[in-house]
Amino acid sequence: YKYTPATQHAPLIGFAFDGYPVYGPYGYTNAMDPGSAITRMKSGYSLRNITTRTTLASGAAAPQVGPAVSTTYPIGTYSEDYEWLASNGGDLDQYNGRMCVTPEYPAGTYAYFVTIDANGQPAYPYIIGPEYYGEPDQANLNTNGPNPTPIQVPATATNCILPTDVDALGMLAGKLVLVPNPAISGKFRIPGNNHPFDEVMVYNMHGQVVQRQRISGSMDHVVQLPSEGMYFVRATETSTGKTAVQKIVWAAGY
């Protein structure tokens, strides 16, 4: 990764297969304050204290035993040599991302970040952790792509227009409605406006899930926030993995 200025938020460099944006290594010190200082995003991963490779970081037996730690295979050779620990004090979760605001998403989104060390060298897990935060769009995992029908392009062609549009984000923008916002007494409603979502999760500013409910587009659902503050509401259409994220606030006095 060649982007080096550490005085501004890193640029958007792409999207993961689950639809969430991927940024370079610099973000805001306060995840929700675009006026806060710029800092290098540090992962919560560190090397495990092991001499053999017979277990995973979770403590479960490894499905395949790796070589013992040695000068030939030093610690850090394999991804299984790392573990994510909250006590490491990183900026990012185990997926290598966080809920935050960015220049492209001033209302907030979940975003992955490239990780580098203090010397500017790539640092594990580099872009995304061992798992995605969201559900990958299955079309992204299909080796034939979303449109497996071959398209014949004449040798003399100068332009090619695909027959279908590409949904780059895989998100259902505008379908998730939260009222009222700010929430009153910590309560808000998700109207049954024929939205496609069947699950909703509420995250606090530390990325922790504080509410999780099954919902339906045919009826209203009321959600109670645990305390005053700012939250992210993530609704998912589980059959497709597509999501929408909105910000909700419980302000003092409301």
Cα four-point dihedral sign 43, 47, 48, 54? positive
pLDDT value of residue 125: 92
- Average pLDDT over the chain, rounded to whole? 83
What Å distances lie between residue 117 and 121, 157, 187, CA to CA?
5, 47, 42
pLDDT value of residue 165: 39
Q: Is the pTM of this model over 0.85?
A: no
Q: Which residues contact 99 (CB under 8 A, 6 or more apart)?
A: 31, 108, 109, 110, 203, 205, 207, 232
Q: Which domains does the chain have, with CATH numbers?
A: 46-84 (no CATH), 179-250 (2.60.40.10)
Percent of the chain predicted with pLDDT > 70 = 81
pLDDT value of residue 32: 92
As a whole number, mean pLDDT of residues 209-230 equals: 89
pLDDT value of residue 90: 94
Indicate whether 166 pLDDT > 50. Answer: no
pLDDT value of residue 45: 96
Helix, strand, or coil here: 198? coil
pLDDT value of residue 65: 87
As a whole number, mean pLDDT of residues 61-89 equals: 91
Task: Give the model confidence (pLDDT) of 104-150 as tens digits.
Answer: 999 899 999 999 999 888 899 999 998 899 887 665 555 454 445 55
As a whole number, mean pLDDT of residues 3-31 equals: 87
Helix (H) or strand (E) holding 45: strand 45-47
Residue 92 has a CB neighbour count (10 Å cut-off) of 23
Q: Which two tokens stand for residue 113?
A: 């970040």
Indicate whether 161 pLDDT > 60. Answer: no
pLDDT value of residue 37: 95
Ranges assigned E (strand) in 116-195:
179-184, 187-190
As a whole number, mean pLDDT of residues 220-236 equals: 88
Using CA atoms, how far apart are residues 146 and 48, in angstroms rounded to an integer?
A: 40
Indicate whether 153 pLDDT > 70. Answer: no
Indicate whether 222 pLDDT > 50. Answer: yes
